[in-house]
Chains A and B, each alone.
Chain A
Amino acid sequence: MHFLAPSLLLGLLAAALPFLIHRIGRRRARPIRFAAMELLLRAEHEVSARRRLRDALLLLARTGLAMALPLAFARPFAEVRSDLPAETGRSQSAVVVLDDSASMRRHAKEGGTPFDVARAKAREVIEHLSPDSEIALVLASEGSTAPIPELASDRARVLAALDATACSARRADFAATLRRATQILTSSTRADRLIYLATDLQAAGWDNVTPATGAGAPQVVVLDASGGAAWTNRAIVALSAEPAPEEGAQGIAVVAEIANYSSEPVHLLGVTLAIDGAAVARGFVDLPANGRARKRFVLTTAGGSAHEAEVAIDKDAFPLDDRRACLVEASRGLRVLIVDGDPRTVRTEDETFFLEAALRAGGSGFSVTSTLPDDLGGRDLSAFGAIFLCNVNRPTPPVAAALVHYVETGGGLFISVGDRVDTDGWNQSLKAILPQPLGLKRSASALPGARAEGETVDLRPAERLAPIDRRHPLLSAFPARGDGLSSARFFEYLLLSPLPDAPGRQIVLRYESGAPALVEAEVGRGRVLLLTTTVDREWTDLPIRPGFLPLVQEAARYLAGAPSGEAAAAVAVGQKREIPLEPDDRRIEVVPPTGESRWLTPPARSSDARTRRALTFAETDEPGFYRVRAARGDGTISERPDAAFVVNLDPRESDPARLPDDKRPDRATATATAGAAPRRRLELWHALGAVAIALVLMESLLTLRFRRGRVKA
């Protein structure tokens, strides 16, 4: 034990005072010659035991009090071994970084979570920093707001902010966090500038971290909240939905990718699929050690809007990544609408004869509906996964608007041209969704190349297709040389007006001349494919070539499948989500999994076209389904299933791999802190003060009881 003011220990001599006063009092007792000694001795015998006990307790209390007071004033303390870094003892500017990433929410073996441990360690550091230190508090999750973004001397405020923090479901981003902490410390003029990093040292989140070095760089101290023990984990790291033709038009497959972050294989891990909150299927999967496996659920769902699909595995210590969600739209998955712009009475001469035959070919699973352009306006286009517009003259304005909305909300549109197409009309009414504006018709001038064996003789000048690029998903099923397509001849086609390169637009097929044959564009949440020739034999003999059938079937699947599954409607926790606005939307309500609605209001007048078309929702803090409703101009509130989305955990947070020691930011200063075990001062005067108060109370109670006894007497 040590003392801050040892000279005050002289006051301990006062401890003898009660005893001395007692003795002196006895010596100075008045002698009385008394006749009734017998009575006096009997009375003394009656009360002696109780009186001696009371006297002993009083002497004890008074002696203890006389000792406790000088001891307390001497400010005693003990030095005890401390888990805290030795650096905490110095006067400094400090940024405490608290790792609040998703992995910190797992359950530790010893109870609690690493976040609890990290917060406790951070609190301990803050409490034991020297009183004149300045402290800031920063969170390590991506996109988080710092609770105390500037250096502050108000310790209570920092501790209150620390207590108010909660662990997020976001991924860690230590590169940005350390940059921010360093930036905060640049405002300090102190020599000692430190960053205390309370984390579980999960490797994820340390990408692109370059520790600051040099003379002015702050020192980083890691407060390891992992307990030093490695942890294992099982997680669903990906979830997708795709058409399942084997189940017919309504068939859909939900595919979960499950990872095992453990050196032990897992047998018969339970996997459950829930649709719209109700478990509909359960299966089992074996996971290899440190490997992955896929679990595919095939099901048929009723028609209508999107469904909420969630796959869950048996829970482990980190339940946050044991489930994953996506939205599936099985109803329109393989329903195709063909709009025949050049119908003929002779079936084989009809514009869509070959197309329809190819899509209806046995086993394709497509549900094909044919219609005429004039009948298009009355149809609910959202019920179809893909629409084929074939040699349509020009869409009427209502039809054009419906097509634009259809594509922007996730529909797939295939456009083929022909003699009936009014290019100017198309360019005006469907400018928003056309991959490129339509140009002039071009007739092939040269004879085709060598005649392929067995082909139908057509002596018109023609062009062939340039070699295909099989990296495109539409063409991945074709042989490397493009067999089935390479033999096709193109007598006429439309040229397209050139446009600068734009993201989401690409040329899938080209003619030998270099002109685009098939162009793809992503519009809103949907896709458009533009074929610059016909789908009958008028401008090309492609429909009778072997490649036509797989080309149009793949195109239908590609278009229909585009908006389905996790990729289109899911974001990671913390990422922003754009919610498309409809013209009549006045306010948008987003209902997160917690049920606490958030209302978004579009700006009344905005020059930014994007903000007129969409709102940004940033509070994607919890994994799960986010429903969207819109308040219309007429006061009604309606569901917006097309805008609903899913928030999932960043799969990197599931990986328990620990940051290698050589990449730890505190290793550069490790030698400086090594040496004598850190010790911290444990103040004892509080306890002594409490003892003194207890003794005063005890003495008062005894005296009061004693006096009360005399008054009664």
Chain B
Amino acid sequence: MPTLALDPLDIARLESMSVRARVIVEGAFAGLHQNPHAGASVEFSEHKEYAPGDDIRRIDWKAVGRIDRYYLKRFEDETEMRTFLLLDSSASMGYGRKGPTKLAYASYLAAALAYLLAQQGDPAGLLVFDADTRQYLPPRTRGGHIRDLLVALDAVYPAGRTEPGRALAYVAELADRRSLIVLFSDLLDAPVDLGDRLRQLRSRGHDVALFQILDPDEVALPFDEVSDFEAMEPDDARRLLVDPRDLAASFERESAALRERWRRTCLEARVEYQFATTADPPAEVLRAFLFARQRARR
């Protein structure tokens, strides 16, 4: 399928987060026959004249009979669906050797989602965390909120250790009604009880999605000379002087096992799991996520 999805390096070259978000969203929906701009979770609000590419199932046939013109029904939320975007900004998310860092990549995806939600009129909030909550923008629909959110994403930087469990607990307190909670993290040092947190959120009726973002170097070791590896997170003094060629096979197995473990954890908790490397086009990742949600809804 031909797409206009740009690769992460091209995305990074764009001047602002708002542009990046729009480009990603446009890329994600380019070539699609459906117009997903109208959400399925809203009540009728107005008519829109039919344009090629619109879902013909939404044509208001009564209006056609009345005025002999094709109009689509548009809906608005019966109950407002709020979205919390949780972004892991720990030091480990700052790794990126050839492409954007994992944090930058996660920011692109979060920005694109926020932009998309804003287009739909859904309130989206942002929680940037490491070991603690670093920044929180509550979900709103007012004009200018999306701009604040994109600016905040543009300004995020990697630092500190990661505690995704605490961030999820914090969001659980904030989300007093059914919400969509999206977590962006590499999950490299995440504790195993994170699965319990995810299950708790689901049990409260929240819709939860998890994006695991890894650098390609963390999938397969590319180094070919003796290297002195050192941990990135503060207070972690672990070092390893080794010829990475000796470890390549074993490392690849360990990395695959890690991803498989989180996939299973999410499956058991009925949490949507998306894996991406920073070499994948963000639009592709976003589209895969939206398709998966659409399938799940049907």
B254 touches A39 (CB 8 A): yes
Contact partners of A33 in chain B: CB under 8 A: 95, 229-232
Q: How many residues on the A side are at the interface (Cβ–Cβ under 8 A)?
A: 26
- Residue in B236, B249, B251 whose CB lies within 8 Å of A40: B251
Separation in Å of the A19 CB from the closest CB of chain B?
Answer: 15
List A22-67 residues whose CB lies under 8 Å from chain B: 25-26, 28-44, 46-47, 51
In the assembled complex, which residues on chain A have CB atoms less than 8 Å from the CB atom of B231? 33-35, 37
Q: What residues of chain B lie closer than 8 Å to A35, measured between beta carbons?
A: 92-95, 102, 186, 188, 215, 218, 231-232
Known: A25-B226, A44-B247, A713-B248. A39 touches B241 (CB 8 A): no
Interface size class of B (residues with CB under 8 A): 35 or more
Among A25, A35, A41, chain B packs the most CB atoms within 10 A around the CB of A35
> Is A708 close to B, CB under 8 A?
no
- For A39, the chain B residues whose CB sits under 8 A away are 188, 218, 251, 254-255, 258
Q: Is A710 in contact with chain B by the CB < 8 A criterion? A: yes
A712 touches B (CB below 8 Å): yes
| Nearest chain A residue, comparing its CB with the CB of B101 | A35
Q: Which residues of B contact A34 (CB under 8 A)?
A: 95, 217, 229-232
B176 within 8 A of A: no
**Please, which residues of chain B bring their CB within 8 A of the CB of A709?**
249
**A29 and B228 contact, CB distance less than 8 A:** yes
Which residues of chain A come closer than 8 Å to B251, judged between CB atoms?
Answer: 36, 39-40, 43
On chain A, the residues within 8 Å of B250 by CB distance are 42-44, 46-47
Q: A30-B228, A32-B230, A38-B188 are in contact. Are A710 and B248 (CB under 8 A)?
A: yes
**Minimal beta-carbon separation of A190 from chain B (angstroms):** 65
Choice from A32, A41, A42, A51 contacting B223 with Cβ under 8 Å: A32
Q: What's the minimum C-beta distance from B238 to chain A, rounded to whole angstroms?
A: 5
Given the known A-B contacts A34-B95, A47-B247, A710-B245, are A41 and B238 also in contact in the complex, defined by CB atoms under 8 Å?
A: yes
**A43 touching B228 by the CB < 8 A rule?**
no
CB-based contact A29/B227 at 8 Å: yes
Chain A residues near B228: list those with CB within 8 A: 29-32
- Tell me whether A32 and B241 are in contact (CB under 8 A): no
Interface string of B174-189 (1 = CB under 8 A from A): 0000000000001011
The B252-298 residues at the A interface (CB cut-off 8 A) are 252-255, 258
B residues 66-102 near A (Cβ < 8 Å) are 92-95, 102
Q: A47-B247, A712-B249 are in contact. Are A40 and B188 (CB under 8 A)?
A: no
A32-B227 contact, Cβ under 8 Å, with A37-B240, A40-B247 = yes
Which residues of B lie under 8 Å from residue A40 when comparing CB positions? 221, 229, 240, 242, 247, 251
B235 at the binding interface (Cβ < 8 Å): no
Residues on B with C-beta less than 8 A from A28 are: 226
B254 near A42 with CB under 8 A, answer yes
Q: Whole-angstrom distance from the CB of A48 to the nearest CB of chain B?
A: 9
A713 and B249 CA atoms in complex are apart in Å by 5
Chain A contacts of B223 at CB under 8 A? 30, 32
User: B193 interface residue, CB < 8 Å from A?
Assistant: no
By the criterion CB–CB under 8 Å, are B246 and A51 in contact?
Answer: yes
Q: Are B245 and A29 in contact (CB under 8 A)?
A: no
In this assembly, does B225 line the interface, its C-beta being within 8 Å of a C-beta of chain A? yes
Q: 5 A-B Cβ contacts within 8 A?
A: A32-B223, A35-B94, A39-B218, A40-B242, A47-B246
Pairs of residues from A and B, 3 with the lowest C-beta to C-beta distance, nearest first = A713-B249, A43-B250, A35-B92
In addition to A29-B226, A39-B188, 10 A-B residue pairs with Cβ atoms within 8 Å of each other are A25-B226, A29-B241, A30-B226, A30-B228, A34-B232, A42-B254, A43-B251, A44-B242, A44-B247, A47-B250
